[in-house]
């Protein structure tokens, strides 16, 4: 599912229950990472639930894959993958993910620990492009 489709679906989801249900549905679409990728190097430090993110580059475009033990976190990973997948370093640096998440109406429903987890995921992406986000 791409970024525009997610935006459309979230716009139609009302309240936390609707958005939560959509995140769980999105989680089902995330293929699991191979067991060999579920390692400390790919682990997202700062995420309340155990989660992993692999980052690669193909023709200067980021390639992301992820997994988590939590369905909500998996759904959030799907959102972030849709936002960043296939982008160049310049496009990633120019994208204001925090504002995007606010516009989707998600940030007000996330607990502090889940919000920190989202920041940790974004931070791992920025670390991969050589520019940590603060």
Q: In the annotation, is 97 catalytic?
A: no
Q: Which residues of 5-25 are buried (b: 16+ CB within 10 A; e: fewer)?
A: ebeebbeebeeeeebbebbee
Q: Quick one: DSSP state of residue 30?
A: S
CA distance 44 to 123: 9
Q: Quick one: DSSP state of residue 22?
A: H
| Catalytically annotated residue among 47, 97, 121, 125 | 47
Task: Enumerate the active-site residues.
Answer: 47
């Amino acid at each position: 599912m791409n970024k525009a489709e997610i935006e459309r679906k979230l716009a139609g989801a009302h309240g936390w229950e609707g958005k939560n249900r959509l995140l769980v549905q999105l989680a089902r679409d995330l293929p699991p990472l191979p067991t060999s990728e579920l390692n400390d190097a790919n682990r997202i430090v700062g995420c309340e639930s155990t989660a992993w993110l692999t980052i690669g580059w193909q023709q200067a475009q980021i390639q992301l894959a992820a997994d988590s033990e939590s369905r909500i976190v998996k759904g959030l990973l799907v959102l972030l993958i849709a936002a960043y997948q296939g982008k160049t370093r310049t496009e990633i640096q120019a994208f204001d993910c925090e504002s995007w998440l606010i516009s989707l109406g998600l940030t007000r429903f996330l607990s502090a620990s889940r919000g920190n987890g989202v920041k940790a995921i974004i931070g791992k992406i920025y670390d991969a492009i050589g520019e940590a986000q603060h």
